[in-house]
Amino acid sequence: MKKLVLAAAFIVTGSFAMAQQVNPQDKKINREEMHKKMEMKQQERMAEMQKELNLNESQVAKIKNLQEKRKADMKAEFEKNKGERQAKMEQMKAKRQQMDNEMKNIMSPEQYDKWQASRKAKMEQRKSAMKERGMKHDRKMMVKPQS
């Protein structure tokens, strides 16, 4: 029975590992698609703003320049903090690994494998919930409120 549970845990773990593999080319394509969507949304918001506020072309141009400046400032700030953020991530990873090692010492191998599988399943649930919330948010953005 223990062998069956252990084999099932390895199969579950292996399937999660295979599901996590992402082709770098797909990531690049998804990033490009995301940038295009964001750009289109920005253009739509600008057109809506122009219509609602009755902005002239000069005002639209100034607002676009202001948005581009803000975008560049945010990107610079992001790059400036990149090293610090990376160090914090490494620190968190080390703490997680330390906890895993301590849990491994406390639990039996079967308990540890079951705990790992449970953690991965919960992580997948959180990911799918986040995606679902993102989809709901996108749908809300697409539906205009009735006035």
Q: Report which secondary-structure segment, H or E, holds 103.
A: helix 82-106
Using CA atoms, how far apart are residues 103 and 122, in angstroms rounded to an integer? 18
Q: What's the chain's average pLDDT?
A: 82
Please report, for the chain, the start and end positions of each structural domain, with discontinuous segments joined by +.
31-107
Helix, strand, or coil here: 143? coil
Distance CA 50, CA 57 (A): 9
What 8-state DSSP symbol labels residue 121? H
The per-residue pLDDT for range 106-140, each reduced to its tens digit, is 999 999 999 999 999 999 999 999 888 877 666 55
Per-residue pLDDT band at 32 (split at 50, 70, 90): confident
Q: Is the pLDDT of residue 33 over 80?
A: yes
